[in-house]
Amino acid sequence: MKQTKLLLAAISASLLFAGSAGAVEIKDVMKAAMKGDDSLYNKVTKGKGTDADAKKLAACVKNLTGKKAPRGDQAAFDRKVDALIKAADAVANGNKQAVSQLINAGACKACHSAHKPEK
């Protein structure tokens, strides 16, 4: 948990320096926001997150903007990222209906099967 907090701090810090946006990798966002039962994403989509969690999630996924898709079609990846950011933003702004959009946009398998490199 402590590591996640540090990582989130690092990610928030990097948001302040638009010029160094390349420093945060997709993996960092996954570990900080998506991975695990008590991830920000899980808390927010299950209605267990606080407003602060929703805002952190929205800030965190913004780091995916402009990332090169490790695999698959770049335009398709960009669309998925865009949908995820929009849904997370809407939820952070208090739109409870957007939670279902966030669940769709954040579907792990749909994105991984197309864009996550095979090990």
In contact, 51 and 93? CB cutoff 8 Å: no
Query: Is position 33 an interface residue for ligand HEC (rule: CB under 6 A)?
Result: no
Could you say which of 8, 24, 41, 87 contacts ligand HEC (CB under 6 A)? 41
In contact, 11 and 28? CB cutoff 8 Å: yes
Query: Is position 30 an interface residue for ligand HEC (rule: CB under 6 A)?
Result: yes
Token pair, residue 41, equals 């994403």
In contact, 60 and 73? CB cutoff 8 Å: no
Binding residues for ligand HEC, how many (CB under 6 A)?
19
Token pair, residue 27, equals 């993996």
Query: Is position 46 an interface residue for ligand HEC (rule: CB under 6 A)?
Result: no
Q: Is the Cβ of residue 19 or residue 118 nearer to ligand HEC in the bound state?
A: 118
Query: Is position 116 an interface residue for ligand HEC (rule: CB under 6 A)?
Result: yes
Query: Is position 66 an interface residue for ligand HEC (rule: CB under 6 A)?
Result: no
**Runs of H (alpha helix) within the chain:** 2-16, 26-29, 40-45, 51-61, 74-92, 98-105, 108-115
Which residues form the interface with ligand HEC (CB under 6 A)?
A: 26-27, 30-31, 34-35, 41, 70, 80-81, 84, 106-108, 111-112, 115-117
